[in-house]
Amino acid sequence: MQDEAAVLRRRDLLSLIGAMAGSAAMYHAMTSLGFASESRYQGPLKLEGDPKGASVLILGAGLAGMTAALELRKAGYQVKLLEFNSRPGGRNWTLRGGDSFTELGGATQTCEFEPGLYINPGPWRIPYHHRALLDYCRRLNVALEPFIQLNHNAFLHASRAFDGAPQRIRAVKADFQGQVSELLAKATKQGKLDEAVTKEDQEILLQALRSWGALDRDYSYNANLHSSEYRGYATAPGGGLTAMPVPSEPIGLSDILKSSLWRYLQNFANYNFQTTMFQPVGGMDMIGKAFAKELGDIIRYNARVTKIQQNDHAVTVTYVDTAKPAIVQTATAHWCVCTIPLSILSQVELDVSAPMRSAIEAVPYAGSVKIGLQFKRRFWEEDDAIYGGISYTDLPIRQIAYPNTGYNRSGRGVLLGAYLFDGANSYEFTAMPPQERVARAVEFGAALHPQYTDEFENGIAVAWHRVPFTLGCSGDWSEDARKQHYANLCQIDGRIVLAGEHASALPAWQEGAILSALDAITRLHERVVKT
Amino acid sequence: MTRVRTMGFAASLALVAGAALAQNGPRTFSSGYRFVEMSGEELYHNVCRGCHMMDAQGASGAGSYPSLAANRNLEAAGYPITMVVRGRRGMPPFGDMMNDAQIAAVVNYLRTHFGNSYSDVVTAQDVRDAR
C-alpha cells in the first residue's frame, strides 16, 4: 500500500507539471523521475550557433559517419566523407544475388541467391528501445517490419539429449515453467518458505504458480488438456467426429536440466532481444542507402586512409584510391570526425595524444561468422510451421534463423544457417575456406532439419575477421580496458574526435554508432561555436 | 570440453553441393568458449589461420594482419607468448580460451614452421610465468 501511495503522489505531480507546462516538460520530468528512461536519445539534434564556415572531414561512411555528416551539414558546416568501400553503410550491409565479396586472403564469393532473397552479414535486428536508429529510419523513410526473436514453434536442440531430436521452444518453455512452478508450490505447501514469505502471500503465490505454470488443481504439472494449452497437444483439437484433442506428455525437470536447453531461454528475456524487434524491409542496407541518398555526392568512395595529421589550424588526411594506390591524395578540414574501426585506426599514422593512442590500441575486435543458405523450398514453413524466428543448438553453427519476410510463399528461401559471435567456433569457422564454411553449416544444420540434404542449393559465408574494412566484428572492450581508456577514447583530441560503436556503451549495435556520433558532434559543435 | 569430430562428412555432403566439398576432411570443433584443439599444428590451422592465413603471410585490406613467416619477432619466445595470451591492438587475447600447454604448443609450432627455425622449446611453465 505504501508503494501505491507513492506512485499516486508521483502521478499527481506529473499531471500538475503537465497541466502547467505542457507535455514536453512533463516528458522531461518523467525522464528525470525514472520513467521513460529506456533510451539516451533526446530527439532530433539541434545544433544552435553559427559554425562560421568551419569544415569537417568525416572518415568512414557507416552509420556513425553518415549521422555526423547529416547533422553537421544541417548545422551549416562544410562536410566531406572518405569511405574505404565502394558503397555506403560499412557494417550496415546486405548480400543479394549477384553481389560478390572478396575477403582477406583473396577468396571471392559471388552470391547466387534468387532475386529478392538476401542475408544481412552484419547487424540484422533493431530493438524497440533503439530510439535514435528508429528515428533516423522514420526520417529517412526506411520501411520496417517485425524481426521475430521468439518463435514458440522454432527449435531448441541439444545434440546429446532426447536422442538428438530438436524440441519445440514452446514445449521447453512451458515445461520448464511448469516444473519449476510445481516445485515451488510444493516447497510453499510444505512450509519451507515460511521464513521468506508471509502466510497471506503464500496463498497468492500458489494461485500465481498455478496460473503461470499451468498446474492442475493439486499444483502439479502433468499431461492434461490444460498443460497442453501451453506446450501443445499430442493430437490437436479438430472438427466433427474426431474433434477431441489428446494431451501431450511434458518433459521431466531432470531431462530439461541435464539437456541444458534452459540456457537458451535467456535469449527471449534479455532486454536487447525483447519484442518488438524490427528489420528494414528488403535488407539492413536500406538504412545505409537512405543516409547516402540524403548526403548525395559528398561521399568519396574507395578511399583508404593512410595518415591523419593535425596542427593548431587544421586536420590533414592522406589517402589513396583503392584502385590506384600509387597516387597519394590529401584532404584538409578544420575538424575531423573519425569513425574508422579501432582495429584499423590502431595501424594508421595518427597525430593524437598518448592517452588517446593507448585507448585506440586497447580494444581487440571480436570474431563473428554468418552463413546464408538458399534452399529450393521453404521447408521450415511448409513442413515444420516455423515462420521466422531463431532455433538454437549446441552444434558449432549455434543458430538457424528463418526469414522474417515473404511468409507462406512457395518457391525458394534463404536461411541464416549459422551465427557465431565470439567463442571458439567463430574462430574455427573463420579459419576455413568460405566453401567449407557453407558445407559445414549444411552438414550441421541437417541435424535440426533433415530436409537440408535434398533442398540445399547454394550459400555464402562472411567471417568478420576476414572482412577487409573492419578486421573483426566489433570492439570487444574488457571491463578493465573500459575503466582505463574509454573516456580518453571519447575526448576531443585537438581537432579530432572519434565515433562509432566502439565509442559507445552499446558495442556492436547500430544504435551505439549513432548515439556516439550525436554525442561527439554535439561536443565538437560546442567547441567550434565557443572559439 | 568434448569435441565434435566430423567423420564421413565428405561422403554425405558431396551429394549435396558438388565436388568442391569432397576435399573436406575431418575437422575438430570446440563445444564451448575454450578451444579443444591441443597440437600446435591444429591450433594454427583452426585458429590463427583465420587472420594470419594458410601460409602465415598475413593479409591487407583497410588495415593488415602481419606476416608470421620468417618473422624475426618470433626469435625471443616471450614476444609471441605475450601476443597470444594478451592480444595486441585489434588482435584478441587467447589467454582465456587456451591453456598453458595449448599456447606453448602453438608458439612452438609457429617458431619452427613458415620459415622460422628457432630450436629452443617453449614450455607450459613459460606460458604460466608470462600470464
Query: So where are chain B's domains?
Result: 1-32, 38-130
CB contact under 8 A, B90 and A348: no
Q: Is the pLDDT of residue B22 over 80?
A: no
Residues in B closer than 8 angstroms to A305, CB to CB, are 62
Q: Which residues of B touch A471 (CB under 8 A)?
A: 51, 61-63, 65, 90
Per DSSP bridges, beta strands A335-338 and A55-59 are parallel
Over residues A450-468, the mean pLDDT reads 98
Work out the minimum CA distance from A175 to partner chain B, whole angstroms.
26
Distance from CA of B74 to the nearest CA of A (A): 20
Q: Which long-range contacts (CB under 8 A, 24 or more apart) does B12-19 make?
A: B12/A443, B12/A453, B13/A439, B13/A442, B13/A443, B15/A453, B16/A439, B16/A442, B16/A452, B16/A453, B16/A456, B17/A438, B17/A439, B17/A442, B17/A456, B17/A458
Partners of A400 in beta bridges: A391
The pLDDT, as a whole number, for residue B90 is: 92
In chain A, list all ranges with CATH 1.20.1440.240.
169-255
Query: Residues spanned by CATH 3.90.660.10 within chain A?
Result: 95-153+276-283+366-466
Q: Which residues contact A19 (CB under 8 A, 6 or more apart)?
A: none
Contact at CB, B15 and A453, closer than 8 angstroms: yes
For residue A416, pLDDT over 50 is answered with yes
Q: Is A231 exposed, middle or buried (0-12, 13-18, 19+ CB in 10 A)?
A: buried
- CATH number for domain A55-89+288-363+475-530, candidates 3.50.7.10, 3.20.20.70, 2.10.60.10, 3.50.50.60: 3.50.50.60
Beta strand ranges found along A197-334 (DSSP E) = 233-235, 246-247, 277-280, 299-300, 303-310, 315-321, 324-333
SS3 (DSSP) at A278: strand
Does A51 have pLDDT greater than 60?
yes
CA distance A235 to chain B (A): 35
**What are the cell numbers at A505?**
556503451
pLDDT in tens, B68-83: 999 999 999 999 999 9
Average of per-residue pLDDT across A476-496: 97
DSSP one-letter code for A94: -
Are the beta carbons of B90 and A466 separated by less than 8 Å? no
Cβ pair A439:B21 closer than 8 A = yes
When pLDDT is cut at 50, 70 and 90, the band that residue A440 belongs to is very high
Is the per-residue pLDDT at A12 higher than 90?
Answer: no
| Grid cell for residue A150 | 521468439
**A9 pLDDT above the threshold of 60:** no
For strands A55-59 and A78-82, give the pairing. parallel
Under DSSP, the state recorded for A161 is: S
Burial of A290 (0-12, 13-18, 19+ CB in 10 A): buried
Q: What is the pLDDT of residue A5?
A: 40
Query: β-strand A456-463 against B64-65: which pairing, if any?
Result: unpaired
Confidence of residue A19 (pLDDT cuts 50, 70, 90): low
**Residues whose CB falls within 8 Å of the CB of residue A335, separated by 6 or more in sequence, listed in order:** A54, A55, A56, A57, A315, A495, A496, A497, A524, A528
Amino acid identity, residue A515? L
- Which pLDDT value is given to residue A63? 98
Where is average pLDDT lowest: A261-275, A341-355, A464-478, B11-25?
A: B11-25
Mean pLDDT confidence for A371-394 = 98
CB-closest option in A346, A396, A453 to B90: A346
List pLDDT tens digits, range A203-262: 999 999 999 999 999 999 999 999 999 999 999 999 999 999 999 999 999 999 999 999
- φ and ψ of A255, to 5 deg: -65, -40
Interface test with B, best of A350, A394, A428 (most B CBs within 10 A): A428
Tell me how close the Cα of B37 comes to any Cα of chain A, in angstroms.
10
Rounded-to-integer distance, Cα A222 and Cα A364, Å: 49
pLDDT (mean) for A115-138: 98
DSSP state of A150: -
How many beta carbons lie within 10 A of that of residue B101, not counting itself?
A: 14
Q: What percent of chain A lies above the pLDDT cut of 70?
A: 93
pLDDT tier at A20, thresholds 50, 70, 90: low
**Mean per-residue pLDDT for A511-518?**
98
CB contact under 8 A, B47 and A427: yes
Nearest to B62 among A84, A364, A458 (CB): A84
Class at the top of the CATH hierarchy for domain A169-255: mainly alpha
Average pLDDT over residues A506-521: 98
pLDDT of amino acid B8: 38
What 3-state class would DSSP assign to A310?
strand
**pLDDT in the model for residue A37:** 65
Mean pLDDT (chain A) is 94
User: Which CATH number is associated with domain A95-153+276-283+366-466?
Assistant: 3.90.660.10
**How far, in Å, CA of A215 to CA of A376, rounded?**
43
Domain with CATH 3.50.50.60 in chain A: 55-89+288-363+475-530
Residue A531's pLDDT band (cuts 50, 70, 90):
confident
Strands A399-402 vs A389-393: parallel, antiparallel or unpaired: antiparallel
Position A27 confidence tier, pLDDT thresholds 50, 70, 90: low
How many residues in total does chain B contain?
Answer: 131
Closest partner residue to A431 (CB to CB) among B4, B16, B50 is B50
Residues B26-62 have pLDDT tens digits of 899 999 999 999 999 999 999 999 999 999 999 999 9
ipTM over 0.90 threshold: no
Chain B residues within 8 A of A59 when measuring between CB atoms: none
User: Residue A23: its pLDDT value, please?
Assistant: 56
Of A304, A361, A442, which has the smallest distance from its Cβ to B13's Cβ? A442
What is the mean pLDDT of the segment spanning A310-334?
97
Kindly report, residue by residue over A55-92, the tens digit of the pLDDT: 999 999 999 999 999 999 999 999 999 999 999 999 99
- pLDDT given at position A55: 98
Which amino acid would we find at residue A35?
Answer: F
Q: Tell me, what's the pLDDT at B25?
A: 73
Question: By C-alpha distance, which of A466, A471, A425 is closest to A444?
Answer: A425
**Which chain B positions have a beta carbon within 8 Å of A476's beta carbon?**
92
B-chain residues within 8 Å CB-CB of A440?
A: 6, 9, 24, 27
* CATH T-level topology, domain B38-130: Cytochrome Bc1 Complex; Chain D, domain 2 (1.10.760)
- Residue A431 and residue B45: Cβ atoms within 8 Å? yes
- Inter-chain CB proximity B12 and A440 less than 8 Å: no
Look at residue A406 in the predicted model and tell me its pLDDT. 96
